[in-house]
Amino acid sequence: MPELNTITKTVIVTSALPYANGQIHLGHIASTYLPADIYTRYIRLSGLTVYHVCASDDFGTPILIRSEKEKKTPSDYVSYWNRRDLKDFQSLAINFDLFSRTSSPENKSLVQSIFNKLQSNGYIYEKEVIQPFCPVDKKFLPDRFVVGTCPNCGAEGQYSDLCENCGKVPEEILDPKCWICGSVPIKRSSNHYFFQLSKFSDKLRDWLIKNSNLQEDIKKYVLNWINNGLVDWDITRDIEWGIPIPTSDANGKVFYGWFDNHICYISSLLILAEEHKKDGKQLWNESAIFHFIGKDIVYHHYLFLPAIRLGIDQEYKLPDYLPTRGHLLLKNKKLSKSRNWYISIEDFTQRFETDYLRFYLASITPYSQDDVNFDWDTFREKINNELIANVGNFINRTLTLIQNNFASSVPKISKLESYDNEAIDRIHTIGTEVGTKIESNHLNRALMDILAFSSFLNSYFQHKKPWSSSSVDTTLYISVNAVRTLAIVLAPFIPNSSEKIWYQLKLGDSVHKQEWSSSGVLRIAPGHVIGKIVPLFKKIDKETIEKLQIEMTGK
Partner RNA sequence: GCCGGGGUAGCUCAGCAUGGCCAGAGCGUUCGACUCAUAAUCGAAAGGUCGCGGGCUCAAGUCCCGCCCCCGGCACCA
Residues 390-419 interacting with RNA (rule: CB under 7 A): 390, 392-393, 396-397, 400-401, 404
Read off φ and ψ for residue 49, nearest 5 degrees.
Answer: -80, 130
Tell me whether residue 161 or residue 546 sits nearer to RNA (CB atom).
161
SS3 287: coil
d(CA 117, CA 56): 25
In the range 268-297, which residues lie near RNA by CB under 7 A? Answer: 295-297
Check residue 541 for interaction with RNA (CB under 7 A): no
Identify the residue among 7, 11, 17, 92 touching RNA (CB under 7 A): 17
Tell me whether residue 334 or residue 555 sits nearer to RNA (CB atom).
334
Identify the burial level of 249 via C-beta atoms within 10 angstroms of its C-beta, where 0-12 means exposed, 13-18 middle and 19 or more buried: exposed
Q: Catalogue the E-assigned strands of 29-123.
A: 50-56, 98-101
In the range 420-459, which residues lie near RNA by CB under 7 A? Answer: 448, 451-452, 455, 458-459
Q: Which range touches RNA (CB under 7 A), out of 81-89, 106-114, 274-282, 384-392?
A: 384-392
- Angle at CA 405, nearest 5°, toward 452 and 527? 80
d(CA 338, CA 352): 25
Tell me whether residue 348 or residue 379 sits nearer to RNA (CB atom).
379
Question: Of 293, 298, 294, 290, whose CA–CA distance to 320 is shortest?
Answer: 290
Check residue 6 for interaction with RNA (CB under 7 A): no
Identify the burial level of 2 via C-beta atoms within 10 angstroms of its C-beta, where 0-12 means exposed, 13-18 middle and 19 or more buried: middle
Identify the residue among 371, 433, 473, 499 touching RNA (CB under 7 A): 371
Strand bridging mode 139-140 / 124-134: antiparallel
Identify the residue among 228, 248, 350, 418 touching RNA (CB under 7 A): 228
d(CA 388, CA 393): 6
The one-letter amino acid at 231: V
Identify the residue among 273, 388, 450, 501 touching RNA (CB under 7 A): 388
Identify the residue among 189, 285, 429, 462 touching RNA (CB under 7 A): 462
In the range 308-367, which residues lie near RNA by CB under 7 A? Answer: 334, 364, 366
Tell me whether residue 60 or residue 280 sits nearer to RNA (CB atom).
60
Size of the site for RNA (CB under 7 A): 73
Q: List alpha helices for 492-538, DSSP H.
A: 495-505
Check residue 389 for interaction with RNA (CB under 7 A): yes
Q: Tell me, residue by residue from 31 to 60, as one string, x for binding to RNA by CB under 7 A and - for no binding.
A: --------------------------x--x
In the range 506-535, which residues lie near RNA by CB under 7 A? Answer: 535
Residue 437 contacts residue 449 (beta carbons within 8 Å) = yes
Tell me whether residue 40 or residue 102 sits nearer to RNA (CB atom).
102
Tell me whether residue 389 or residue 521 sits nearer to RNA (CB atom).
389
Check residue 89 for interaction with RNA (CB under 7 A): no
* Count of C-beta atoms within a 10 Å radius of residue 63: 23
Tell me whether residue 81 or residue 461 sits nearer to RNA (CB atom).
461
d(CA 255, CA 264): 13
Check residue 305 for interaction with RNA (CB under 7 A): no
Give the shortest CB-414-to-RNA separation in angstroms.
19
In the range 155-174, which residues lie near RNA by CB under 7 A? Answer: 161-162, 167, 169
Residue 398 contacts residue 480 (beta carbons within 8 Å) = yes
Q: Tell me, residue by residue from 231 to 270, as one string, x for binding to RNA by CB under 7 A and - for no binding.
A: xxxx---------------------xxx--x---------
470's enclosing H/E stretch is: none
Identify the residue among 37, 88, 238, 386 touching RNA (CB under 7 A): 386
For the chain, the distance separating the N- and C-terminal CA atoms, rounded to the nearest angstrom, is 43
d(CA 70, CA 126): 35
Tell me whether residue 42 or residue 374 sits nearer to RNA (CB atom).
374
Residue 142 contacts residue 215 (beta carbons within 8 Å) = no
d(CA 170, CA 161): 7
Check residue 212 for interaction with RNA (CB under 7 A): no
Tell me whether residue 10 or residue 444 sits nearer to RNA (CB atom).
444
Check residue 7 for interaction with RNA (CB under 7 A): no
